[in-house]
Amino acid sequence: MNNETKTEVKMYQSSGWDIKEDTPEYVLLKRNESSALVHLIVFCLFGWWTLGIANLIYYFIANKTKKIIK
pLDDT digits (tens, 9 = 90+) for 44-53: 888 778 888 8
Average pLDDT value for the chain: 87
Domain ranges of the chain: 3-69
pLDDT beyond 80 at 7 = yes
**In this prediction, what percent of the chain has a pLDDT beyond 90?**
27
Whether 70 contacts 28, CB under 8 Å: no
Average pLDDT over residues 27-34: 88
